[in-house]
Homo-oligomer: A and B are copies of this chain.
């Protein structure tokens, strides 16, 4: 049996991307100007830069969302199952996740790190979070580790006794890590970020669970580099998806 591993972080890698601001501009200009060269859409000087920023801002503000769909970002994500449960509620995306029916799951589990705020106050849907006491922090670590170990040992004993993987896995806890391939376009990604991050300047309040927000922030960083004009405009317009 492999050694149990505990982690407090999330893995997000950009596997493949075909995403840039020029395609947004080009798609928008097909609507308004008909034929033009892609070279034209891509050429860059002070004046076109200003016009391009203006166009992207107009699309974002007035909710012309379709020009932001002609692109694609594929991420490889490792996160606990309770994060994947929330993630996969987003339907405008493509998923392939590691299967506990086809393979033996590895003993990698999430335990909250020291910076994770453990105490919630306020009303449902609008919780605020505060640090736990040293005692509370220790309790969470102990309980999580103990349950995790006991569950994984039970899983192992069932596998060794010849029980099917899809049956044995039902005792594993929600903090076990899984991995997936996920592909989205930038419009769907903006919707995901608007709901799964709570960054400054968002137009409507969003109260994501911290662990999915950790994943979302890493995805956001990759995307911000690929589509800087779109990213800037998203932030300037209240982080609402067009």
Measured CB to CB, the residues of A under 8 A from B are 15-18, 23, 26-28, 30-35, 38, 58, 61-64, 66-67, 69-72, 74, 76, 80-82, 84-85, 88-89, 91-92, 94-103, 106, 110, 112, 116, 118-120, 124-125, 127, 129, 132, 135-136, 139-140, 143-144, 146-148, 150-151, 154, 157-158, 161-175, 179-181, 183, 185, 194-195, 204-206, 209
Contact = CB atoms under 8 A, between A and B. Distances in A.
Contact of A163 (B132, B162, B173, B209): B132
B102 A170 contact: no
Nearest 5 pairs between A and B by C-beta?
A: A72-B72, A69-B94, A18-B18, A120-B164, A91-B91
Contacts of A81: 85, 174
Most buried by B among A72, A76, A91, A106: A72
A129 B88 CA distance: 29
Quick one: copies of this chain in the complex?
A: 4
